[in-house]
Amino acid sequence: MRVVLATRNDHKVDEVSRILRAEGVDVELVALPADAPDVAETESTFAGNALLKARSAAEVTGLPAIADDSGLRVDALHGMPGVLSARWSGRHGDDAANLALLLAQMSEVPDGRRDAQFVCAAGWVVPGVSEHVVEGVLEGSLAHEARGTNGFGYDPIFVPAGYALTTAELRPHEKDSISHRGQALRLLARSFLAQ
């Protein structure tokens, strides 16, 4: 089965491919075509945005589509940046600026109050047939400085609960086994893709 992944982010394509292969899901994952329209993430939830993107990808390609929306919720910031994670600094996808802004906002927050969660909603749309969305959450806390080079986004400052390393310090397969995206995609694979 050919499935389109609704993203132009090469990191996500690699990560999703690894996770689905590890689950034994036999799909040919193809990237979103370059000429596909951008989808405004106008929903107030990760699930809503994931379905918006999956619907658009399915409509453009006629293929079943997977899309995810993910981000970081920080308790000390009342759940923000949340769905605004990718554009927290005002520029969409500027990981360095987003990370710098969040570290500055958290600079005076002590260790005991730095709890955070990585959240991922994964949408699955089969054109004209069905739509589903599932969610994965990884609990953790925020480090005071960036560490590691194996991740992207907020990975260099996110320390999963029970770990001393940031998700950017973990090896890819270690991160996949616990990550919010890994949780959501494994659930999606078991519930819908393996059928």
Cite the active site residues.
69
Buried b (16+ CB within 10 A) or exposed e, 160-180: beeeebbbbbbeeeebbebbb
> For strand 2-5 and strand 28-31, is the pairing parallel, antiparallel, or unpaired?
parallel
Question: 30 near 12, Cβ under 8 Å?
Answer: no
Tokens for 106?
Answer: 């958290």
Strand, coil or helix: 119: strand
List Cα–Cα distances, 44 to 5, 14, 20, 129, 186, in angstroms.
Answer: 22, 27, 28, 25, 24
Beta bridge partners of 117: 73, 139
- What contacts 24+ positions apart, CB below 8 Å, involve 85-92? 85/153, 85/154, 86/153
Nearest to 150 by CA among 121, 119, 175: 175
Q: What is the CA radius of gyration of the chain?
A: 16
